[in-house]
Amino acid sequence: MKTPTLALTFHGPFVFEVHPSSVYVYAPICEGHRAGIFTPNDEYPLCGRHRQGGGYIYVLEAPVSNNLEKITYSPKPKDSRDSSSTPRILNGPPNTNVDPTQASFCINVPRPREIYGINAAQTSVMKDNADAGAWVTGLRFYYDCDFSTVIQLVTPEKGKLSLPLAGLPSLPDYGDIDIQYVGPDADDAEHEDAMACFDQTMKLLNLPWWLYYGQPGEYTIKARTGADCKSLAVVLDPDFTS
C-alpha cells in the first residue's frame, strides 16, 4: 500500500533553523501580520508575543517518518551559469544564530525528507554586493505520513489542536497543511511590506542584508495576490549551500 504524503507549506517571512531531528520555524515581529494554520477541514489562529517570542513554541506532532539524513532541496543550489532566472532558496551564513528576543513565535516541526521552494520573487539581496535573481518566498515540506493517526498542534500553553487528514475524498494518499504569516490584504507595488519584513528577519539573525527591487525592466505593476508580503524565506542548514 502506498504511504500517504503530507505537504506542510509555509507562507510568510519565516526563518527555518534545521536541526538533526526537527526544524524550528521562527516568525519575525512584522507589523500588522497575523498567523494561522489551515487544513481542508479546519483552521486555527496562531498567536505570538509582542517581544521575545522565540520561546513561545508550538509543536506539530505528526505520525511521519522523521528524516535523519540530508534533506533533499529543490531548487538545488544555484548554477552560476543561470543565477538570475532559476529560483533559489536563501541560506544564512554558517554559524548564524537566531536571536529569540526578535521573534513573534516559533513552530517546531519534524525534519522533512524534502524541502521545495515556492512563490519566487525577483529582487536583489544586498550582501557584500547585490545578489540579484529569483528568490523563493515560501517553503513546502514533504513527509511520509500515516493519516490514520490524527496530527496535533501543541500550543505553548500545552493545549492540543487536532488536524485530521483521513478520509479526504479527492486525494486519499495526499494531505496538506498550510501555515500562513501574512499582513493586510492590499496591493504593494513598491514592495514596502516585503522590505520591512526582511529587515525584521535580519534582526532575528543579526545580519546586515537588505532587499533592493529597483526599476523593473518591463514597466508593469503586478499586484501581489492574497496577503503574503513575499519577503524571502531564510534557511539555516549547514548541509545546504545557496
Q: Where are the domains of the chain?
A: 5-236
Distance CA 213, CA 232 (A): 13
Give me the pLDDT at residue 219, please: 47
pLDDT digits (tens, 9 = 90+) for 61-82: 999 987 889 999 987 655 444 5
Q: Are 84 and 26 in contact (CB under 8 A)?
A: no
Distance CA 32, CA 159 (A): 26
Distance CA 118, CA 219 (A): 24
Contacts 24+ apart (CB under 8 A), 168-175: 168/40, 172/4, 173/2, 173/3, 173/4, 173/5, 174/4, 174/5, 174/7, 175/4, 175/5, 175/6, 175/7, 175/39, 175/40, 175/145, 175/147
Distance CA 61, CA 102 (A): 25
pLDDT digits (tens, 9 = 90+) for 86-100: 899 999 999 999 999
Give me the pLDDT at residue 75, please: 79
The total of other beta-carbon atoms located within 10 Å of residue 193's CB is 24
Confidence band for 222, pLDDT divided at 50, 70 and 90: low
Closest CA relative to residue 15, chosen from 81, 105, 134: 105
pLDDT digits (tens, 9 = 90+) for 14-57: 999 999 999 999 999 998 899 999 988 889 999 999 889 999 99
Q: How many CA atoms lie within 13 A of 30 on its CB side?
A: 29
- Cell 532566472 locates to 85
Give me the pLDDT at residue 79, please: 47
CA 9 and chain centroid, separation: 7
With pLDDT > 90 as the criterion, what percentage of the chain qualifies?
Answer: 60
Q: Are 151 and 164 in contact (CB under 8 A)?
A: yes
Q: How many CA atoms lie within 13 A of 205 on its CB side?
A: 29
With pLDDT > 70 as the criterion, what percentage of the chain qualifies?
Answer: 83
Contacts of residue 238, Cβ cutoff 8 Å, sequence gap at least 6: 94
Lowest average pLDDT, out of 102-111, 190-199, 214-223, goes to 214-223
